[in-house]
Amino acid sequence: MTGLTFVEARRLLETKDRSPRDKRMSLPQAAALVRDGDHVAIGGCLYSRTPMAALREILRHRRSNLTLSRNLMCYEGELFMVAGATREIITSWIAIGLPWGLSRVVREFVEGGRVRQEEWSHLAMGLRYRAGAMGVPFLPTLSMLGSELLTMTTAKTMACPFTGEQLCLVPALFPDVGVMHVHRADCFGNAQIDGYPHMDADIAAAASTVILTAEEIVDTEEIRRHADHTAIPFFAVDAVVEAPYGAYPHECYGLYEADLDHIGAYARRVTAEGTEAVRAYLQDYVYGPETFDAYLERFGISRLLRQRQAARELMR
């Protein structure tokens, strides 16, 4: 993946209509904004606020040759690998979660060379999105100095022009598409996030096309009442989709806890059966259910309510 330069990203941005118009659309319409070969940056972090509804729809559109980037990648990476949708993953870490150990599927695809995994430190990932969000070509950091990550990536070192000290320079990321799930947005794309902000605001500012799913679409008046909560402004957004439980079975802060039983069951099955388990999961949860509602029905209402109740208890 070469990606846009900061000049190209700026020129492209100037051609876009991000005016305060109604950007609401369906999940399939939003997913159609993703083209084969795109670099798709995924918001949230690990199993928190993963834009599952949108990712599911992108998979249903059978996209190919995607580059995926995310600061910490959970099993959505495996779904894209096994679906044949991605050839390259840019991240600082990929697995399902600590208690579940190494991912057999990631091992198979990366060790076998079918998917290229480009590893950066966690801060380096953040600074790469931040540089994109700032419209500059790189940012300096002390991270990755002395690390072999420096030699395995496109990071460079230079002597600081002011102090002479050694610096690591990480290049900006300008994703073709940024996909994120937020708590609430208005129809123009003014988006508010509760709890962990993760890297979503930077990804939204850096990406050429931004798809938002939201737990609820609210009136702009409600956004205005708590403007300090707005993390992403309308002018960074192209598509807004209402998707309650849009991160499920991952968590959405304050609203529902991650369904660790489901994630654990998935992880155990992958450990036992490898790629076949992911293939079956794709059939059961991605290709099978035609709509996101049908997908949620597979979990069942009692499960969704249980996870909502768990979140409520935690927020007390």
**Residues near other proteins (CB under 8 A):** 45-48, 71-72, 91-95, 97-99, 102-103, 106-107, 110-111, 113, 117, 119-124, 126-127, 129-130, 141-149, 152, 157, 165-168, 195-199, 201-202, 251, 253-254, 257-258, 260, 311, 314-315
The least CB distance from residue 181 to other proteins, in Å, is 14
Residue with tokens 């069942």: 300
Residue number, 19 or 98, with CB nearest to other proteins: 98
Residue number, 83 or 115, with CB nearest to other proteins: 115
The least CB distance from residue 201 to other proteins, in Å, is 7
The least CB distance from residue 207 to other proteins, in Å, is 16
Handedness of CA 77, 203, 194, 33 (dihedral sign): negative
Of 20, 13, 16, residue with least CA distance to 185: 20
The least CB distance from residue 10 to other proteins, in Å, is 21
Strand order in the sheet with 166-171: 138-141, 166-171, 156-159
Residue number, 33 or 71, with CB nearest to other proteins: 71
The least CB distance from residue 288 to other proteins, in Å, is 28
The least CB distance from residue 154 to other proteins, in Å, is 16
Residue number, 19 or 113, with CB nearest to other proteins: 113
Residue number, 34 or 267, with CB nearest to other proteins: 267
- Side chain identity, residue 261: D
Residue number, 272 or 315, with CB nearest to other proteins: 315
